[in-house]
Structure 1
Amino acid sequence: MYKVILSVWLLILAAASGAQQLPELKTVLDSQKGQAVIDIPKGRYLLNNAQYGAYQFTDLVNVEIRGNGSEIVCNSQELAFRFFNCTGIKISGFSVDYDPLCFTQGSIVAMDSTRTWFEVEIDPGYPVDHVRNDRVQFYDPVTRELKRNSITTGAGHYTSFDKVATNRFRLVKNAAWVANEKIGDLVVLDVVSSKTNPAAHAIQLEQCTRATVEDVTVYGSNSFSFFERNCSETHYNRCKVDRGPVQPGMAPRLRSSNADGIHSSLAGKGPLVENCEVKHSGDDCIIVCGRSFPLCRIDTAARAIYVLSREGNPVFNTGDTLQHVLYSAVKSGKVRIVSAAAFVPGAAEQDAVISKYPNLLFKTSYTKGVRIVLETLPDSIAVGDIVYNDNHTGKGFVIRNNKVGHNRSRGILIKSSNGAVYSNEITGTAMNAILVAPELHWMGGGFADNVTISNNTISECMFEKTNKGMPPGVLSVFCANGQLQVPPAGAFGNIGIYGNKISKSPLPGLVFTSVRSLSQQNNEVTEDPGNTREHGKNFGAIFDGPVWEKNNSY
């Protein structure tokens, strides 16, 4: 017996050090700089981002990077590849993984009778160093899927998080919340790089145009698996985000990336995402979004508005079009940008916004600002209104023929316009399967117009523990303003919902609010008796039928 255990541990130790024995990918890539085709001979490589950081490709034009089925292993939980200002590139045929992993997992082995604390013992072969409680998720030990009627917790849910043995951690709750956890449940926790402020995500594209990402698999990430910012016309085809392989003697992995699978932000023209599989991610599977900004001051004489931001380089280009949204969350007019420059908001300006949005997340991070001069100043504009760059919300997106789910959040999240979501298979999302919403507590943008959602097959969704403040509906077009009220029709416009099938999920299956020109037909919702939740009750949602609507026009 001793020899068997020793052999297993030797295999695990060999796996843990295996990445250090691999040939370095940097040498292969460096030797082909300037070539139109970069070929990675099929093999297993070390991407030594612990020493060099992410491998960066800059200003490439019509270059193809062929992975030929290679496996790429990162040795630090940080960004693997960064593509900046590239045009017409194609990236294909490889997988990205991490050793050590970006998460660890184990089981609850002890807790007190009042559930104020619990202890997690880490599975053999999984990381025990640099473990964090930033995203704590509970899994069913039988199905090895996210636990039903539970919640995902973060560092704010705990007063302390301590390593009490080599492979054991104790988490002490900050309140009497319950995730319906029990001894034997499986738990996943984040693992972070030893570096200070490591770069986030696995594969990142910035300011790239017409990039193709094809047959690329990501088995882990410290945040998003695929992240694009301020790009245009990206094509994701047959890409995959899923749980990776393990060495003999290790329990199968429970999670893939720590956060979103494919995240498109601020795109000039939105992505085409097709034939992809995005599963077991720590947050949303696929998202297309922009960014909204609350107004904190208005200079009428100068035709200038001042907005708060929690990011340092928001996208406001001269000549771009701003969409103005009233505080009620109804879209108003559009206006051109003349100029934009940073400014530092004062406490009064910050307080003016926070008082309007008491549920705003990351309030203390809104320390930056932008002064925007406009061609004309809307008559109705006021402090507390929001604006977003209408040129950078991912308009024209298409999301089709994908398989997504088995994650703690939404399957497909849309904050954009002029797009389509169709023929996707969505299974096992803890929250909405498809959500169209600006999510003002995140200051997400924008407010959707001209979107069609059709022929999607949805099953076993909305199983998280009831959250009455969460958007209701398995397939939901939903808006709540800063006062947590559902606005009148005009937040969204021209939305079509056709031929979708929803099963094994709580009612209501379909939710529509605040839509001007809503069209819906041939949708099928199969009731799941006994499977009830009260998500969205704070907004007046009703749970006794397949559809709940509020403030729409047809």
Structure 2
Amino acid sequence: MSANYINESPLTKTVNHHDSTHLSGRHFLCVAIALALSTIATVSAAETPVELKPINVKDFGAKGDGVTDDTVAINAAIVEAQKQGAGAVVWLPSGRYKTATRAEKSIRITGANGLTFQGEGDATIVSGDLDEPVFRLDDSKSVTVRKISIDHDPLGYTQGMITAVDIPNMTCEVSMDPGYPAPNDPSFKGSQVHPFVFPDKNYYQLDRHWPNPIEMVKTGERTWKWKLQGPPHIENWAGKKFFIYTESRSHAFVLSNLRDTTLEDINYWGGGANAGFYIRGLEGTTTFRRFVIGVPAGSNRLYSCAGGGQVSGLRGKLLLDHCDFSKIDDDGIDILSNYTRIIEQKDNRTLLVQAKNSDYRAGDRVELWDWQHKKIRTNAVITTATPNPDGTFVIALDRDVVTERVGVGVGMNFSRESMIDGIDRLVNVATVGQETIIRDSKFQVFRAKCLNLKAANCTIERCTFRNSFQPAISAAPEWYFEEGSSIRNFTVRGCTFTDNNHPNIVIGASPITGVPGDKPKVSEAQENISHDSTKILIEGNSFSGFGTTPSVFDWSWPVGPAITITCAADVMIRGNTFGPLAERAPEGTLKVLVEKCKDVKIIDNKGISAEETTVHENDVGSKK
């Protein structure tokens, strides 16, 4: 070998540059190729990420035996995994992992980046606390939780069958199902009894007013006689199943301040808890894929949990894909708007508002609402939003606005004071980047709405809604929530609606009039009508079994129509199929009712006649 080579290895030889001119072209090419290959190999080795070994929770003391509290061990595994950085995996082998029976209540993922929490086989987390969330995910990005089931033990409810009713003496006899708590458990004190009035449709009550027991006497191993606070409304309660649930605050997941989060292949069996998830402050894309809320297969459980999920502060894309929500008491999904009282108008374009945990940012589109008449006054875009230490915000807008009634006000959610105080509201109806897609999913709710949506840019497609007591889809303000959001860019496409009560789809709300201190009333006055919701598309859906309202309540929705839209503009109802109405539907029941709207098109629908369609555009009656 020539002395010009320092290293004898043919693939790692280094050329003496002073003598390189003496190499032949062929030899120089070979050396160059060898050097290139060596460099590529070195760089590739440096850039290839180290394969991270999954962190097994059992290595940190978790037992998965259904008895030992594994909360501390699971959290220790999460902390260790986070030290690995992005790509770390926490592994939960098959087993039943008891949590929340000691001081540490929740499984916590905080400040993570690129972490995956993944179960194996039948891995199930069983929480022993109905007042704390099973999982808390905070201040993290690119977190995935997958392939686990979640349950509660003890359950937050009990169930059984009504065997006899004595109306004159206001008593009933019940038999409790084996394996469920006794009805006189202190946690059920004051709780309401929910009988399944229509067991074939899975509605659990006629009107929410089954009289509660005021005295319970045990008459056998699982039998009881109850003294009721009032007479039952009808006699044929014998043979009906019922359940009683306690007021709990637990969720499967509480998510806050997250970016790009995925929850997939998760079963939440509820166990009488509050809801599947509560979300506040999401950016990027949040995905629920094959997320199930219901009861275990083969179980005789009548009930899952009080609600499905609630979303607030959505600033990105929310995707629900192939999910299944059933046996839920209240709304399946609530997407809420930010709303707040206007305390003071500082100048033509600057407002001082109550923060109320709201998240206002530059670029958000907001609406200023006349809260006395529940009517939009104007809309604007935020140019700056400055939080104050006292919890208020100074909001600067891109245009002049006019307020009429401002102040601090009193009362919180669900309060009469909040509904009737008349103070102007600022409603954040389109946060930057907000979008919701719900597709290929199933919903069944006992007494409330499957989807209760108050957000911009919503698409619901290829979903199934069945056997629900209130509207399957509601996109309208709820004044008792202090919410007055309007709906923009709302699409319902290719969905199937079967045996749902009330209108299957409700969009918009009737105009309201009133003065502070009086309960608002529906107004027919032209000056109180505003077309708040716009760009509504209802296309290619099928409806059957609608047209009845088995309730003694004076609901705000009309009895009958599959679709009801009020105070909207740019509405298209196209290519839908209307099947047979419910057996008890009154003769002449409408199938579509559109009131106080403009720019309405109803075309190419099947199974519907002109007599079954009523459209009032700009409060002038017409049929199409």
Pairwise CA distance, 1:178:
3.4
Percent pairwise identity: 20
Task: Supply the distance in 2 between the matched residues of 1:308 and 1:171 (Cα, whole angstroms).
Answer: 47
How far apart, CA to CA, are the structure 1 residues paired with 2:441 and 2:165?
40
In the other structure, the counterpart of 1:504 is 545
Asked if the contact 2:197/2:237 (under 8 Å) is kept, the reply is no
Equivalent AA in structure 2 for residue 90 of structure 1: T
The whole-number CA distance in structure 1 between the counterparts of 2:580 and 2:252 is 39
1:200 corresponds to: 250
User: Is the Cα contact below 8 Å between 2:445 and 2:467 reproduced in 1?
Assistant: yes
What is the alpha-carbon distance in structure 1 between the residues aligned to residue 233 and residue 77 of structure 2? Answer: 55
- Does structure 1 retain, via aligned residues, the 8 Å contact 2:365–2:381? yes
Q: Residue 388 and residue 145 in structure 1: after superposition, are their counterparts in 2 closer, same or farther (change >3 A)?
A: same
Tell me, in whole angstroms, the C-alpha distance in 2 between the residues paired with 1:518 and 1:170. Answer: 52
Is residue 108–residue 182 contact of structure 1 (8 Å, CA) maintained in 2? Answer: yes
Instruction: Give the secondary structure class of the aligned counterpart of 1:339.
Output: strand
Give the equivalent residue in structure 2 for 1:241.
293
**2-side partners of 1:163 and 1:19: how far apart?**
36
Q: Displacement, 1:527? A: 3.2
How do 1:95-494 residues align onto structure 2 when only pairs under 5 Å count? 95-114=149-168, 116=170, 118=172, 120-128=174-182, 129=185, 130-140=187-197, 143=200, 145-147=202-204, 150-153=206-209, 161-165=214-218, 168=224, 170=226, 172-173=228-229, 178=233, 182-191=237-246, 199-220=249-270, 221-232=272-283, 233-244=285-296, 252-257=300-305, 259-295=306-342, 297-300=343-346, 305=351, 313-317=357-361, 320-327=364-371, 328-331=373-376, 332-336=378-382, 337-341=384-388, 370=392, 372-375=394-397, 378-383=401-406, 384=422, 385-392=424-431, 395-444=434-483, 446-462=485-501, 472-482=502-512, 483-485=520-522, 488-494=529-535
Distance in 1, Cα, partners of 2:352 & 2:228: 42
Contact 1:513 1:550 in 2 (8 A): yes
Aligned amino acid, residue 497 of structure 1: I
Match for residue 114 of structure 2? 62
Deviations, residues 251-270 of structure 1 (Å, cap 9, x unaligned): 8110111x221322221124
1:136-170 Cα deviation digits (max 9, x unpaired): 3221596482247x13359xx75x64444496474
Q: Structure 2: how far apart are the matches of 1:25 and 1:394?
A: 36
Correspondence for 1:523 among 555, 576, 580? 576
**1:94, 1:217 within 8 Å by CA — same for their partners in 2?**
yes
The alignment yields a C-alpha RMSD, in angstroms, of: 3.2
Contact 1:319–1:338 under 8 Å retained in 2: no
Counterpart AA for 1:491: D
1:333–1:39 distance in 2 versus 1, CA, 3 Å: same
The answer as to whether partners of 2:465 and 2:497 remain within 8 angstroms in 1 is yes
Alignment of 1:3-152 (within 5 A): 21-22=67-68, 24-35=70-81, 36-69=88-121, 70-78=123-131, 79-114=133-168, 116=170, 118=172, 120-128=174-182, 129=185, 130-140=187-197, 143=200, 145-147=202-204, 150-152=206-208
Secondary structure of the equivalent of 1:57? Answer: strand
Which deviates the most, 237-246 or 452-461?
Answer: 237-246
Q: CA deviation at 1:173?
A: 3.9
CA pair 390-140 structure 1, distance change in 2 beyond 3 A: closer
CA contact (8 A) 1:285 1:410 kept: yes
Conservation of the 8 A alpha-carbon contact between 1:138 and 1:181: no
TM-score normalised per structure 1 = 0.77
Question: In the TM superposition, what is the alpha-carbon distance from 1:244 to its structure 2 partner?
Answer: 2.7
Q: What is aligned with 1:536? A: none
Q: Deviations over 1:31-76 (max 9, x none)?
A: 3424211111122211235542122211111111111231111112
* 2:546 matches 1:546: no
Structure 2 SS opposite 1:441: helix
**Does the residue aligned with 2:73 lie in a helix, a strand or coil?**
helix
With normalisation by structure 2, the TM-score equals 0.69
Q: Distance in 1 between matches of 2:588 and 2:333?
A: 27
Q: Cα deviation per residue 1:473-495 (whole Å; 9 max; x = unaligned)? A: 11121313553426634220111
Q: Which amino acid aligns with 2:368?
A: H
Is this contact kept in 2: 1:434–1:474, CA < 8 A? yes
* Distance in 2 between residues matched to 1:517 and 1:271, nearest whole Å: 25
TM-aligned CA distance change 1:87 to 1:484, over 3 Å: farther
- Distance in 2 separating the partners of 1:83 and 1:226: 11
Structure 1 runs (4+) greater than 6 angstroms displaced? none
Letter matched to residue 552 of structure 1? C
Gaps of 5+ in 2: 1-63, 82-87, 407-421, 513-519, 548-559, 600-624
State the 1:117 CA deviation. 5.5
CA distance in 2 between counterparts of 1:238 and 1:514 reads 36
Q: Which SS does the other structure have where 2:79 is aligned? A: coil
Residue number among 510, 514, 517 corresponding to 2:567 in the alignment: 514
Find the aligned partners of 1:32 and 1:342 in 2 and give their Cα distance: 34
User: 1:131 corresponds to which letter in structure 2?
Assistant: F
Residue identity in the other structure for 1:382: R
User: 1 CA distance for matches of 2:150 and 2:582?
Assistant: 42
Bigger radius of gyration: 2
Deviation per CA, 1:191-249: give whole Å up to 9, x if none. Answer: 357xxxxx532211111111000001100152111221121321000110111367xxx
Q: Which amino acid aligns with 1:432?
A: P
CA apart distance, 1:393: 9.4
Distance 1:51 1:290, change over 3 A: same
